Amino acid sequence: MGYRVINGKLHFAPDLGAVCNKKNNVKNHISDSTRQVSFKDTLSSEIDKNSSFTISNHAAERLKSRNINLNESDMKNINSAINKAEGKGCRESALVYKNAVLITSIKNRTVITAMDKNEENQNVFTNIDSLVIV
């Protein structure tokens, strides 16, 4: 499991049910294939996509081991960069932010890994179709 950033605030993924005010394990006798999705649910899920992203466990470990600290303002700036990259049609991007480079899946809105941009031993990035300077 990873971490989810919603409106700049970091949440542990299993705790999202409490954060999003969702009911836990409500049994519904209607099968999933016949369940109707309301416009309100669809709209709120699309709005949430633009205001949140995920930090993978791997990226969280890299941020911690490399002593890269991100505050709420930083998270909002990173989310804004993901939104811009998504608007340009990017799929996999390197986000350069302050002293860090965040390799990000724009399609999945997930930070895959993080590194200090001053690291000299790892300066080749592969499978990246864009670079965003935040």
Q: Per residue in 63-76, pLDDT tens?
A: 999 999 999 999 99
- Structure-block tokens of residue 15: 């705790």
- Write the secondary structure of 64-129 as one string of H (helix), E (strand) and C (coil): HHCCCCCCHHHHHHHHHHHHHHHHCCCCEEEEEECCEEEEEECCCCEEEEEEECCCCCCCCCCCCC
**pTM greater than the 0.85 cutoff:** no
**In the predicted structure, residue 46 carries a pLDDT above the cut 70:** no
pLDDT digits (tens, 9 = 90+) for 11-42: 776 655 554 554 444 444 444 445 677 777 77
pLDDT of 10 above 80: no
Please write the tens of the pLDDT for every residue from 83-113.
999 999 999 999 999 989 999 999 999 999 9
